[in-house]
Structure 1
Amino acid sequence: MFDLFSGLPLSVGLGLVLALALVLAFEFINGFHDTANAVATVIYTKAMPPHLAVFFSGICNFLGVLLGGVGVAYAIVHLLPIDLLLDLDSGRSLAMVFSMLVAAIVWNLGTWYFGIPASSSHTLIGAILGVGVANALLTDLSISAGVNWSKAIEIGLSLIISPLAGFLIAALLLLGLKKLFLNSKMHKTPEERRAIDNKKHPPFWNRLVLVLSAMSVSFVHGSNDGQKGIGLIMLVLIGIVPGKFVLDSSSTPYQVQRTYDAAAHLGDFYQRNADTLGDFLALKQPPLADLPPKFHCDPKDTLTTIQAVRSKLEGVRTYNDLPPDMRGRMRRYLLCLDDTARKVSNLGVLSLGEKADLRRLRADLTVTTEYAPLWVIIAVAMALGIGTMVGWRRVVLTIGEKIGKRGMTYAQGMAAQITAVAAIGVANVFSLPVSTTQVLSSGVAGTMVANRSGLHNGTVRTILLAWLLTFPASMLLSAGLFSLAVMLGV
């Protein structure tokens, strides 16, 4: 880990330390900002004592990051357009990351301070979009080129659909529980349980489901939200110390060969579909002799790029065999091929079977570019896990009592948490970032409506206002900070 500082000027090394510290600070704040969402119901219903709930939630968050992979991490990274990712330099990379993180941290701390369950995911994604748009304006690019809008729309839809699905599914699940177990004690609030049954805790089976589902929410939260920090750290490392991180230097000969084979098979795939893809990829034109060290990613140069990957990786067993500048060029080739393959898949001219083949080729192609060292994963897991054990009190009351006009019943808590686990788990399968805050809060609101408890209009209005303001506020803040940094020549 510490060899990444070797050969760096002091100012760049200090900037790298500060950037890494800011990413871990964001994940720490994300931990205590979102912890209440994972443990609110289990604490409010007295299923677990607060200190135990928060402690085990922290452990589950840690395990979620450790075991969650990097699919969501690179979904966040690829919000930035391919040419910007290809041309990251140390100064611009630091300015980008500092702007994103300061904007996200300020907004997260503000909403946490006022006890508003706002979305860390919305905050970070808004900050990334703000930096992308600001960079486009400052470099005379069009707004459409400043952000990977197709990925932004995909993520935006997941952020919109997931809370709506959470509201509906949690409501239906609660209605199902009421129909199947009409007279069960699960439909009592903690206050009613204490007053009528003189019991402090939920019935055993309800308590077990509440505890298991709360810990599952913590796990899927870690496996989704924790990856955002991993993606940010990889942006920092690739921008500041590219020679060590543009490609996975620990790749085995098998993984390098897998990348080489994927490029070869990709060429065969395109030729097989030349009738439909020929014009888009200029397949009838002979490939160029070579590409310049820095090139614009153009689908019409695809054959030349495939040829470059095959020639440069011929006989290579480890990326350490390549000189540092060639590693950078190889990353550019692979990212460009993957981006073009994504565009080809979205053209709507391929069959479902061909799309599945192309998806597998993309996975093989990026196996050594979409990665994270183990120390990065552990550092983010620890920051999120420790942050989870702090600062949970401010939001628990909002989730438990202030969304609905009545307190939450045990059945409502179970329905909301099971829904959140399912929704976030599905998002993880498709490598889509979603908001734990939104899914769980919407699930609670759905159960309140299904239970005819009514909603606290003031609280719901405040939460909705925070959700609506998060995107524009974080975008404007990060864009302003990035513009200021560029103008000051950082």
Structure 2
Amino acid sequence: MLELLSGLDTALAVTLVLSVTFVLAFEFINGFHDTANAVATVIYTQSMKPQTAVILSGCFNFLGVFFGGLAVAYAIVNLLPTDLLLNINSTQGMVMVFALLTSAIIWNLGTWYFGIPTSSSHTLIGAILGVGIGNVMITGESLSSGINWSKAIDVFLSLFLSPLFGASLAGLMLLTLLKLRPLSNIHKSPFQRQQVEGRKHPPFWARFMLIVSSMGMSFTHGSNDGQKGVGLVMLVLIALAPAHFVVNLDAEPIQIEHTKIAALQLKEIYQRNQAIIDQQYPAKGGQHKCEPSKIVDESAELLSAIGDAKSFVALASAQRWSVRTQLICLNDGAKKISKVPGISDVDQKQLKGIQKDLTQTTEYAPAWVIIAVALAIGMGTMIGWKRVVNTVGEKIGKKDMTYAQGMAAQTMSALSIGLASLIGAPVSTTQILSSAVAGTMVINRSGVQLSTIKTILMTWVLTLPVSLCLSLGLYYAGVKLFV
């Protein structure tokens, strides 16, 4: 880890440390919001003591981040404009990172203070889109080309559909429990159980399921939300210490060989379909980068930069940056070609494999980055869980949450988030759990507190435009002042 500071002057080293700390602060605040949801029901139902619950939640978050892969991390990163990803090592790149993080932190802290369950994912995505729009305003490009709209639409769909999915599953599970065990103690709230039976804890199996689902939700939260912090840390490291991080210096020789083969295969696909590709994406000329029409040249430049090297360590710093630039451009070209009408099914299938091979040495993260993000989220949970726990347990429904409702909401939330992480879809832990709790309240005929639901919905509606505008303003002002 400390080797990343070698070769940097004092000012740049200090900037690097402060920048990474800034990202970890965002993940720490993320713990206030999102990870607190993972322990909300288990604490509210008195299945576990708060101190034990948050410590175990932190451990399972750690495991989730560590074993969750990087699909979500780079799904978020790839929302950024391609030219910013190519020039992340510039002052403009650092202004971008600070603008999107500052806007996300401001909104998260404000909503946490009022105990409103909001989405850190939603906030971060709004901030990234704000940076993208700000970049379009500065460069004069069109909105259609300046932002990765196809990826943005996929993210919006996952954010919109996942709460509905979680609420439906939770309601269905509670309905099943009501049909199978209508007279069970699991349908009592903690207050009812204490008043009627004088017992503090839930029935054994309810308590067991609440604990297991809580830890499962912590794990899936780490595997989804934790990855977003990992992606942001990597942006900072690539910007300030490119010699160490532009490509994976630990890449195996076989991975490098696959990268070279993928570049050649992409060139062949382009040449076979050049007429229809150039019709869809005509050459713009000038300094425009990452055009499909330049795939032949970019492939040659990539192969020239790598040469016969079996390890990226053997390459000079400038060569590593050239490799990264060409890989990003070739991957962008592969994505565009896959959308061209008339590309055969065989070529479409091959393009998916090519994209995977082109990104395997640039979309990575060192173990210490993953560990640092996991620890930041866990520590945030231990500090700020109370406000959100009270909202989830008492302020969504008109009646207190029952054990069965907690089981249903938490189990199905964990399942929904886990499935989303598996397919690389960024989702909101907060939105899924809040919707799941509301779904169980409807099935249980407990009614919902409309004031709380309105507040959550209003915050959900405002999160994207507010974080977008904050980020856009900060980025635009920063570029004009410092670049």
Same fold (TM over 0.5): yes
Structure 1 residue 116 corresponds to structure 2 residue 116: yes
Distance 1:350 1:161 in 2: 30
Q: Cα distance 1:160–1:348, how it changes in 2: closer, same or farther (>3 A)?
A: farther
Distance 1:346 1:443 in 2: 36
Q: Which moved more, 1:13-22 or 1:38-47?
A: 13-22
Structure 1 residue 382 corresponds to structure 2 residue 379: no
Query: Could you say which residue in structure 2 is the equivalent of 1:403?
Result: 396
Cα pair 2:166 2:416 within 8 Å, conserved:
yes
Q: Cα distance 1:452–1:360, how it changes in 2: closer, same or farther (>3 A)?
A: same
Q: Cα distance 1:279–1:349, how it changes in 2: closer, same or farther (>3 A)?
A: closer
Deviation at 1:169, TM superposition (A): 1.6
Cα pair 2:45 2:202 within 8 Å, conserved:
yes
Distance 1:355 1:156 in 2: 25
Structure 1 residue 430 corresponds to structure 2 residue 423: yes
Residue 363 (structure 2) aligned to one of 370, 386, 391: 370
Q: Write the deviation string for residues 386-432 of structure 1: whole angstroms up to 9, x where unpaired.
A: 22211111111110111011111111111111111111111111111
Query: Could you say which residue in structure 1 is the equivalent of 2:194?
Result: 194
Structure 1 residue 18 corresponds to structure 2 residue 18: yes
Query: Could you say which residue in structure 2 is the equivalent of 1:152?
Result: 152
Unaligned runs of 5+ in 1: none
Residue 452 (structure 1) aligned to one of 432, 445, 469: 445
Distance 1:123 1:317 in 2: 41
Unaligned runs of 5+ in 2: none
Distance 1:16 1:314 in 2: 31
Task: Describe the SS at the equivalent of 1:392.
Answer: helix
Q: Cα distance 1:425–1:347, how it changes in 2: closer, same or farther (>3 A)?
A: farther
Deviation at 1:224, TM superposition (A): 0.7
Distance 1:213 1:442 in 2: 16
Q: How many residues align?
A: 481
Structural mapping, 1:68-147, within 5 Å: 68-147=68-147
Structural mapping, 1:266-285, within 5 Å: 266-270=266-270, 274=272, 278-280=275-277
Query: Could you say which residue in structure 1 is the equivalent of 2:48?
Result: 48
Distance 1:303 1:181 in 2: 66
Deviation at 1:28, TM superposition (A): 0.9
AA paired with 1:98?
Answer: F
Query: Could you say which residue in structure 1 is the equivalent of 2:311?
Result: 318
Deviation at 1:348, TM superposition (A): 5.4
Deviation at 1:349, TM superposition (A): 4.3
Q: Cα distance 1:198–1:127, how it changes in 2: closer, same or farther (>3 A)?
A: same
Distance 1:233 1:402 in 2: 35
Deviation at 1:215, TM superposition (A): 0.6
Task: Describe the SS at the equivalent of 1:320.
Answer: helix
Cα pair 2:302 2:323 within 8 Å, conserved:
yes
AA paired with 2:476?
Answer: S
Distance 2:354 2:481 in 1: 43
Deviation at 1:452, TM superposition (A): 0.8
Q: Cα distance 1:205–1:474, how it changes in 2: closer, same or farther (>3 A)?
A: same
Cα pair 1:15 1:94 within 8 Å, conserved:
no
Q: Cα distance 1:281–1:256, how it changes in 2: closer, same or farther (>3 A)?
A: farther
Structure 1 residue 394 corresponds to structure 2 residue 374: no
Distance 1:302 1:209 in 2: 54
Distance 2:410 2:245 in 1: 38
Task: Describe the SS at the equivalent of 2:88.
Answer: coil
Cα pair 2:87 2:93 within 8 Å, conserved:
no
Distance 2:131 2:219 in 1: 30
Distance 1:448 1:408 in 2: 8
AA paired with 1:250?
Answer: D
Distance 1:281 1:235 in 2: 32
Q: Cα distance 1:353–1:46, how it changes in 2: closer, same or farther (>3 A)?
A: farther
Structure 1 residue 337 corresponds to structure 2 residue 330: yes
Distance 1:351 1:207 in 2: 54
Query: Could you say which residue in structure 2 is the equivalent of 1:203?
Result: 203
Q: Cα distance 1:424–1:349, how it changes in 2: closer, same or farther (>3 A)?
A: farther
User: What percent identity do the matched residue pairs reach?
Assistant: 53
Query: Could you say which residue in structure 1 is the equivalent of 2:290?
Result: 297
Cα pair 1:111 1:118 within 8 Å, conserved:
yes
